[in-house]
Structure 1
Amino acid sequence: MSALKMAAQIDPQAQAPSYEGEDVFVAVPSDFSLETGDTLPDAHVRLRRYGRADGPVVIVSGGISSGRFIAGESGWWRDHVAPGKAIDLEAYCVFGFDFAPVEDHRVRLSPRDQARLIAVALDALGIGVIEAWVGSSYGGSVGLNFAAYAPARVKRLCVLCAAHKPAALARGWRGVQRRVVEFAIAQGDINQGLALARQLAMITYRSADEFEQRFEDGALDEAGRSSLDRYLIARGEAYIDAMAPQRWLSLSESIDRCALAPEGIAAPVTLVACPTDQIAPLEAIEELGRRVQNLAALRTLPSLYGHDSFLKESERVGAILREFLNHD
C-alpha cells in the first residue's frame, strides 16, 4: 500500500497514473453532525485515488461491504476500474471511499450524510465538479443523494441495482437481520449473530432460479445440512472478518433511512435494473426513472444473480458503463 496522504489539493503534475491507488484521508469538520443529530465518531473521510491525477473525476461506490479499494489486486470492482477497462485509469481520476462510520460504532446516519461527507472531501481536495458518479446498491443510493444534495457538482450519474427508497420486503429482511445481531449481542455471541444475519442476507441477494440450479440436490448430510446450508454457513463465517458488527448495524439501518425526492436531481441519470433483484425491484427503479428530471437510459440486466448482478455480470455491466461514460 502506498503511503497515507492527508487531504490537500491535487497536483496534476505530481504523479503518473496510479493503478494500485493511494490513500487520501480528509479531516471531518468538528462541527459536522448527522441528520439525526448524532455525532459522527470518525476523524476522517477515507478515500483512495486511482488513475490520472489530472483526469476528469469519477467516484465509484458499492454495497455496504465494499470500500475504498476499488481497483488493483484487492479491488472489489477491478473488472471495471483498470487501464483500458470501462472506467479507464488512463483517462480518469477515480475515487473510492469507505462509508461512515469507519470504525466499529453504531450511529444513526443516512445515505444523505454519506453524500455530505463526500462533498466535504471534494472541497478539501479542491474538486468542484465531478465528471461522473457510478454507484451500485447502497453506493447507488449515496450517489443519488449526492446528485440531489449538490446538483451542480455532478455531470452524470449511473446507478445500478438501487432506487430512491428501500423496498418494503427488503426493509423487512434487514430488520430481522438486525434483530438477530442485537439478540446475539445481548447473549454475548456477537460473531454468531453477524454470521447468521449474513446467511439470511445472501438468500436475498440472489434469485430463486439460481438457488434451484446451484443447489438442486437437497440431500442432507449426517449433521442434517444440505449443500445450500453449507454454502450459507461458509459465507456467514467469512463475513465475521470482513465487517465489524456495530458498523454493520449502522449501515444496515442507513439503507432504510433513504428517503429521497429524485425530482431534485438535475444530472442525466443512467439506471440499471435486474428483473430478479429482490432488494431493489425493477418496479422501484422504473418509478425512479419516471421521477428524475433527465433519464438518459434505463437498462435491464436479466440475470440469475439478482441483486448481485452488478458484481457477477462483468461483461454486460462493462458494456453499460462504457456506453455511459462515452455518452456526450
Structure 2
Amino acid sequence: MLEELIIENYTNSAGSTQDIHLSYQWFGRKASEAPIILVNHALTGNSLVTGSNGWWKDLIGKNKCIDIDKFCILAFNIPGNGFKGHEDQFFENYREFKLKDIAQIQLIALEKLKIDKLFAIIGGSIGGALAWELAVQKPDLAEHVIPIASDYKSTDWLVANCRIQDHILNNSSNPVHDARMHAMTFYRTPQSLAQKFEGKRNSQDQGFEVENWLLHHGEKLKNRFTLASYKLMNHLLMTIDISHSSGNYLEAASKIKGEVHIVTVNSDLFFLAEENWNTYVELSLLKPNISIHEIKSIHGHDAFLIETDQLNRFLKPIFQLTTQGYENNTSRSVWAR
C-alpha cells in the first residue's frame, strides 16, 4: 500500500522553500521485527520493487536474494517521479533541486519513521548514486551500501548525454517519446542491438526492426511517465556529487562507516566501468571495507536489470543472515547475524 509523508518547509539547494510530498511502500516483515533495507529506484522506476509487477522482482521477493520473509523492505519514490500523483510539485523549479536534496528529504523521512539504522541501502543507476549520497550524508546509517551500475559523481560524458535529453524534453513536440528513444541508445550497446535485431527489417513496411523497437519504447514511456517527471529525473542525473562541489569525492566516500559493495557493468556506456574500478582502487587505500563486482554483459547499462543471475550471485552473500532473535530486540540498530 502506498503511504505518504509531507516534509514541511523544505529548503532546497537553491534556497527555495516548499512542502514536499514523499510517497513510499513497505514490503516483507514489519520494521520492528526484521533488518530494514532501503531500495532506491532508477530513473523511470518507482517504489513498486517486488510482486507480480515489481520492477526488481527477480531480486526481491519470497525466497529471492533479498527475501521478504527475512527482511523489511522500504522503498521511497523520488519526489516528483509521478508514481501515484504529485508529479508536478517541481514542474516549474526542477532545476533548483540536486540529488543531495533528495537524500536530505529521505533522511528527514527516516527520522519521521523513527528509523536510525538500516541493514542496507541498495539502488541501481540514479538509485545507486542516491545510495552513495545517503551514506555520505549519514556515514553510520547503513551496514551495507550497494550502488549498482552507478557512480558518486556526474562525469562529463553523463552530463553531455543528459543535456541532450534536457534539450529534447524542452524543445521537442513529442518530448517524452523522443527523449526516451535517444536514451535507449546509451542504455544498450551496439553489440546488444546487433544480437537482438541482426539487421532485420519489418516484413510489412521494410523498416529496420531496431527503429520499431525505439518507437515502441518511446510510446510506452510516454503513456506512463509525465514530462514534468522526466525533466526532474534527468536533471538529477546531472547533479550527482558526493563532494558537494569540493571535488574531494574520495575524502567524502572514505567517511562512510558501512561496507561498500560496488557493482559495475563492463559494457556500461552511461556509468562507465572504468570509473567504478578507479573508485574502488583509490578508495580501498582509504577505506578497508570496500569490494567491487563486475557484471559481464553485452547489454550495457540495462544489464543490471537483465543479468539477474550474475547480480544475485554477487549479492547473495550479503543477504545471507539469520534474523532469529530480532523480534526480541527492541533496537532497530542491532540484529542477529
Matching residue of 1:56: 35
Q: Distance in 1 between matches of 2:46 and 2:164?
A: 25
Identity, % of aligned pairs? 20
Rounded to whole Å, the distance in 2 between the matches of 1:123 and 1:271 is 26
Aligned with residue 171 of structure 2, among 179, 183, 202: 183
Post-superposition shift, 1:281?
0.3
User: Does 2:315 match 1:321?
Assistant: yes
Task: Tell me the residue number matched to 1:217.
Answer: 199
**SS in structure 2 opposite 1:123?**
helix
Aligned to 1:14: none
Deviation at 1:165, TM superposition (A): 1.0
Q: How far off is 1:48 after superposition? A: 0.2
In structure 1, the partner of 2:51 is 72
CA drift at 1:325: 2.2
- The C-alpha deviation readout for 1:89-148, integer Å capped at 9, x for no partner, is 011110111112241333222221111111111111111111100111000000100000
Cα distance between partner residues in 2 of 1:310 and 1:98:
20
Within 5 Å, which residues of 2 pair with 1:21-170? 22-30=1-9, 32-40=10-18, 42=20, 44-53=21-30, 54-101=33-80, 102-104=86-88, 105-106=90-91, 107=94, 108-170=96-158
- The letter for the 1-side match of 2:224 is A
CA contact (8 A) 2:154 2:237 kept: yes
- Decide whether the 8 Å contact of 1:111 with 1:255 is kept in 2: yes
In structure 1, the partner of 2:304 is: 310
SS of equivalent residue, structure 1 residue 91: coil
Per the normalisation by structure 2, the TM-score is 0.84
SS where residue 11 of structure 2 aligns? coil
Q: 1:215 to 1:41 in 2, by over 3 A?
A: farther
* Distance in 1 separating the partners of 2:108 and 2:224: 27
Query: Could you say what the CA RMSD is over the residues aligned between the two structures, in angstroms?
Result: 1.9
Retained in 2: the 8 A contact 1:58–1:131? yes
The answer on whether the counterparts of 2:168 and 2:179 sit within 8 Å (CA) in structure 1 is: yes
Aligned residues: 299
Counterpart residue type for residue 283 of structure 1? E
Q: Which residue of 1 aligns with 2:277?
A: 286
Given the alignment of the two structures, is residue 263 of structure 1 paired with residue 254 of structure 2, yes or no? yes
Can you give the 5+ residue segments of structure 2 that lack an aligned partner in the other structure?
81-85, 243-248, 322-336
* Amino acid in structure 2 at the alignment position of 1:236: G
Q: Distance in 2 between matches of 1:291 and 1:103?
A: 37
Distance 1:39 1:251, change over 3 A: farther
**Shift, 1:175, TM fit:** 0.9
* Counterpart secondary structure, 2:179: helix
Matching residue's letter, 2:15: G
Range with greater deviation from structure 2 (213-222 or 146-155): 213-222
Aligned equivalents of 2:193, 2:161: Cα separation in 1? 18
